[in-house]
């Protein structure tokens, strides 16, 4: 039994829920203390579990929920309908967050959450083509309105580009062997199903390697999903742009499930939490002082109890930061 006041609904367990709530609460409370309704942006709304808990915890909070998946917006909209007067849900990718806020007439986001990666419903719905455990069309689009699918990638990309994607995005040591096998198979007949691809990956990997580490197709499917949805290139744009929407006291929390996502997050936050005054100067330069401070020591990991109850949390890494000062114009008049 979950005795938490924010117990998740059956079938959906928000990752690191209590920790996310505690990290974002001071930003919400600071905005409320200034006499205005705080704005919380859930940039990857999904099933709406984190959003529901935030709305319950803060009665004056207003939610701006983004998701690129229309079905996620529909599901979360039903879940959150009792908060209808405090929510605005938008079909958008998270690098569009500044534009969405501008369109809604919101000058700031007081608290922002990114829960990156594929959502549980996307994995569970066989027809979406994300899972190697079901036979389905090779799709993997988070936004079904976009054109590029996983079938396009495996059937049209050159072998060298396929190998690069598998190696970089899937950290697959047998990337070249798998890419060569895909090229050979697609010349015989286009690859269009998840089962055929999963079987092909399995037979491309040495038998000794297949005995451990789970399904050998896992890394290939992850790499294709990241490529189809442009996840890393979008994330490289999204986090810096989002940080600029935070007022002093505003906070961002990021849940990432892949080492490359976490590396991008770490780099973006480090650049904004470091004093860059050149060595040897007698005093720090105001325009080189950090504008943010880290709220986590490195990347926080889930407790064993959480991973046991929620296997999806096993690979999560949490980082968070708070804005502590406005931009200071440099000598040339720019920040």
Annotated binding site for S-adenosyl-L-methionine: 48-50, 67, 94, 115, 122
Residues 292 and 323 sit within 8 Å (Cβ to Cβ): yes
Look at residues 162, 171, 146 and name the one whose alpha carbon lies nearest to residue 229.
146
Closest CA to 310 of 115, 174, 130: 115
Phi, psi of 292 (to 5 degrees): -135, 160
Residues 292/269, Cβ–Cβ less than 8 Å? yes
Q: CA dist 152 to 29, 156, 224, Å?
A: 47, 6, 10
Buried b (16+ CB within 10 A) or exposed e, 272-283: bbeeeeeeeeee
- Specify whether the CB–CB gap between 89 and 52 falls below 8 A: no
* Cα–Cα distance, 16 to 313 (Å, whole number): 8
User: Helices H, strands E: what count in the chain?
Assistant: 14, 7
The binding site comprises 48-50, 67, 94, 115, 122
Residue 277 to residue 40: CA distance in whole angstroms: 33
Cβ atoms of residues 113 and 63 within 8 Å: no
């Amino acid at each position: 039994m979950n005795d938490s006041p924010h117990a998740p609904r059956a079938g959906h367990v928000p990752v690191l829920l209590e920790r996310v709530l505690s990290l974002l609460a001071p930003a919400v409370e600071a905005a409320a203390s200034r006499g205005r309704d705080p704005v919380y942006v859930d940039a990857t709304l999904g099933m709406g579990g984190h959003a529901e808990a935030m709305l319950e915890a803060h009665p004056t909070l207003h939610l701006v929920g983004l998701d690129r998946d229309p079905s996620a917006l529909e599901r979360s909209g039903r879940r959150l309908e009792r908060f209808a007067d405090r929510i605005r849900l938008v079909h958008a990718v998270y690098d569009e967050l500044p534009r969405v806020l501008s369109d809604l007439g919101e000058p700031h986001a007081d608290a922002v959450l990114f829960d990156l990666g594929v959502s549980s419903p996307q994995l569970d719905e066989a027809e979406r083509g994300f899972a190697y455990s079901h036979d389905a069309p090779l799709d993997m689009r988070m936004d079904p309105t976009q054109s590029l699918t996983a079938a396009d990638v495996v059937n049209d990309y050159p072998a060298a580009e396929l190998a690069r994607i598998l190696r970089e995005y899937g950290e697959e040591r047998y990337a070249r062997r798998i890419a060569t096998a895909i090229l050979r198979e697609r010349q015989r007949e286009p690859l269009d199903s998840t089962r055929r691809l999963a079987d092909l990956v399995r037979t491309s990997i040495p038998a000794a390697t297949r005995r451990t580490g789970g399904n050998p197709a896992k890394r290939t499917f992850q790499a294709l999903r990241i490529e189809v949805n442009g996840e890393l290139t979008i994330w490289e744009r999204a986090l810096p742009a989002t940080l600029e929407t935070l007022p002093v006291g505003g906070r961002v929390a990021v849940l990432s499930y892949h080492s490359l996502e976490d590396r991008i997050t770490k780099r973006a936050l480090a650049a904004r939490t470091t004093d860059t005054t050149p060595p040897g100067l007698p005093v720090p330069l105001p325009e080189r002082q950090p504008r943010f401070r880290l709220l986590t020591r490195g990347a926080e990991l889930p407790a064993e109890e959480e991973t046991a109850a929620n296997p999806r949390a096993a690979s999560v890494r949490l980082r968070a930061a708070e804005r502590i000062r406005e931009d200071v114009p440099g000598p040339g008049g720019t920040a």
